[in-house]
Amino acid sequence: MTNQQAEQLMRSAWATRRSSFDAPPEEKQAALIGAKRDLAAAAAMCREEGASVSYAQAIHLLANVELDLGHEDRALSLWEESVAVLRTTDDVLQLAHKVRHLGDLHRYCGRLEQAESCYAEALAIYREHDGPGSLDFANAVSRMADLKEQQGEDVEAAGLWRETRDLYAAIDVPQGVEEAERHIKQLTK
């Protein structure tokens, strides 16, 4: 029963977070604080129940909210904990997803070497355990492509953008295909 309650809290908090994007600043702040409270409660339930994967998901969602609130250090700590917890489970695809998000935060904070390391780990997991039909895999390739482009590694970036384009095309994500095409065109002028 507790895990179901935690899952419901996570769904509700995530919906609140998403709806806060279009809210006026004071309403957004209140919504995010409420989502944070609910996600912390869900995480506590999952931890008490010993539901490691659900706990990792709850603190992953909480990390997103902390980032929305401008608390980068808290978000980093939560994502690192989420990754550490998932390393003790057999859920490698969840691990890859959380490692990729940790990479996103490192990149956001300007720590490009750490971001690249996270993206490389996530991609290695996806290449071994997932396939071309996965949105998470496509997103991970696009993050590495974008990072390589930012680092001025244009040849490698163009190859990764081609792979990204093909992955998004395979799962019918036209916006992803269009974005990849723009980058390919820019890199191969």
Domains and CATH numbers, the chain: 1-89 (1.25.40), 95-189 (1.25.40.10)
Residue 131 has a pLDDT of 75
Q: Tens digits of per-residue pLDDT, 48-90?
A: 999 999 999 999 999 999 999 999 999 999 999 999 999 999 9
| Number of neighbours of residue 95 by Cβ within 10 angstroms | 23
Q: How many helices (H) and strands (E) does the chain have?
A: 9, 0
pTM of structure: 0.91
What single-letter DSSP state applies at residue 168?
H
Note whether 67 and 75 are within 8 A (CB).
yes
Mean pLDDT value across the chain: 95
Q: Tens digits of per-residue pLDDT, 87-124?
A: 999 999 999 999 999 999 999 999 999 999 999 999 99
**Residue 128 token pair:** 């071994």
